[in-house]
């Protein structure tokens, strides 16, 4: 077989449509495109589901902290009012213990608590520490009234800061 005969045989084989499977190549191309599309679709779908689960987890965590603060704030306010409505050593001791529990809960939740709440509560806490140190020195009615007014104002500011922060968290956009 010479070169010319070989060349003619190769050209005739290539020109014969029965020797070139166009349909097979077309199917391979379609299935490859569909596989690529479906692969990226499912990857994006899994990513969206993971984000949704993360948001749900974070929302539950925020709601849990919010509920804890609301409960502690309500208990703290009632016990504060009860402790100072009838000044006696049992009410004072109960109030101081409750105050310490609230302070512990605030410290445990510090990463989730904005500085504005920490600052306003610190003012109230300073008044409480001051009161613990000089509980017997509030001898006159005027001293007691002045202290109660300052403590009440500090507690109100702390509760307002918490309420403001939590109301910002609940705003839906």
Confidence of residue 133 (pLDDT cuts 50, 70, 90): low
pLDDT above 80: residue 169: no
CA 103-107-112 angle, 5° bins? 125
Task: Tell me how many helices (H) and strands (E) the chain has.
Answer: 5, 0
pLDDT at 173: 47
Mean pLDDT rounded to a whole number for the chain: 76
Return the domain boundaries, the chain: 59-169
pTM over 0.75: no
Dump pLDDT digits (tens) for 3-49. 888 888 778 766 776 666 767 778 888 999 999 999 999 999 999 99
Fold of 59-169: 1.20.120
Residue 71 binned pLDDT confidence (cut-offs 50, 70, 90): confident
Mean pLDDT of 41-60: 93
For the cut 90, the answer to whether the pLDDT of residue 70 exceeds it is no
DSSP helix/strand/coil, 151: helix
Q: How far apart are CA 71 and CA 82, in angstroms?
A: 16
The phi and psi torsions of 86 (rounded to 5 degrees) equal -125, 95
**pLDDT for position 7:** 82
């Amino acid at each position: 077989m010479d070169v010319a005969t070989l060349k003619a045989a190769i050209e005739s084989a290539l020109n014969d449509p029965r020797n070139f499977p166009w349909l097979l190549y077309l199917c391979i191309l379609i299935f490859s495109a569909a596989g690529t599309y479906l692969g990226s679709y499912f990857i994006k779908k899994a990513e969206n589901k993971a984000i949704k689960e993360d948001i749900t987890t974070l929302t539950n965590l925020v709601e849990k902290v919010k509920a804890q603060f609301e409960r502690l704030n309500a208990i703290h306010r009632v016990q504060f009012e009860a402790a100072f409505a009838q000044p006696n050593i049992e009410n004072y001791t109960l109030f101081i213990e409750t105050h310490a529990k609230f302070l512990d809960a605030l410290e445990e939740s510090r990463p989730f608590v904005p500085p504005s709440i920490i600052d306003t509560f610190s003012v109230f806490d300073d008044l409480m520490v001051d009161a613990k140190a000089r509980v017997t020195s509030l001898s006159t009615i005027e001293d007691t009234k002045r202290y109660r007014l300052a403590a009440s104002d500090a507690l109100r500011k702390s509760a307002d800061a918490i309420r403001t922060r939590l109301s910002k968290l609940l705003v839906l956009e």
